[in-house]
Amino acid sequence: MVVATDSRRVAGAVQGLGVESVLTNHGHDSGTERVAEVIQRPEYADFDLIVNVQGDEPFIPSEAVHGALARVVSGDAIGTAAAPLAPEHAMDPNCVKVLVDGDGHVLSFSRSLIPSSLHHIGVYVYRRDALLAWVGAEPVAEETKQGLEQLRPLALGMNIGVAVLDEAAPPGIDTDEDLKTAQAYLTGVGV
């Protein structure tokens, strides 16, 4: 396991936990770009499958990680996960929605409510070539407009498979209110 960060504070926080940290440059626009920088280092040259759990998803269920990995192992260029969309998050732009087809492939990502959508969970599994193609391409207009980097590989025609969980996902942390909810979740208070 490697924590890719541009923050010495974050790197220091994981020191002594048996987790390797790699300081990346400060110029990245996304965690995906940060991961791509790390896998291009010689010591990671032999890794063909890369799992990226986003730092704002500290409680991500193992089923989401295993499911996203299974999607890539079964042939998708990129794997991710989703869960049922809680009604209270339907109109929340901080909650990214994903629409999938009958085979579990992404049709669309959005911050707005889209019909039959699920709550996207911040985990990605990539084949090395797919990740490098993703970050090597220019951002697309819709990605820039919505602030959703995952719209780029979709626009490039990459197959993104989704592992759909049976239950709502634990809280991610996108806002100050989310941080309070996460702290309550962590301590078991108000859950």
Quick: pLDDT tens for 154-175: 999 999 999 999 998 877 787 8
In three-state secondary structure terms, 9 is: helix
Q: What are phi and psi of 22, to 5 degrees?
A: -125, 125
The domain containing residue 43 runs over which residues?
Answer: 1-47
How far lies 27's CA from each of 5, 23, 31, 37, 162, in Å?
11, 12, 11, 11, 29
C-alpha 56/C-alpha 17 separation (Å) is 19
Residue 57 — very low, low, confident or very high, per pLDDT cuts 50/70/90? confident
- Strands 78-83 and 160-164, by their bridges, are parallel
Instruction: Say which residue, 77 or 16, is predicted with more confidence.
Output: 77
Among 52, 72, 89, residue whose Cα is nearest residue 168: 89
Q: What is the pLDDT of residue 18?
A: 81
Q: Do 43 and 56 fall into the same domain?
A: no
Residue 143 confidence (pLDDT) above 90: yes
Contact of 160 with 150, CB cutoff 8 Å:
yes
C-alpha 124/C-alpha 12 separation (Å) is 25
Q: Do 60 and 6 fall into the same domain?
A: no
Q: Do 71 and 89 fall into the same domain?
A: yes
Residues 90-114 have a mean pLDDT of 94
What's the number of domains the chain is made of? 2
Q: What is the pTM of this model?
A: 0.87
Residue 30 is classified by DSSP as: S
Measured between its terminal Cα atoms, the distance across the chain in Å is 29
Q: Do 54 and 36 fall into the same domain?
A: no
Q: Do 35 and 77 fall into the same domain?
A: no
What tokens appear for 157 in the block?
A: 């025609």
Residue 123 confidence (pLDDT) above 90: yes
Contact of 162 with 78, CB cutoff 8 Å:
no
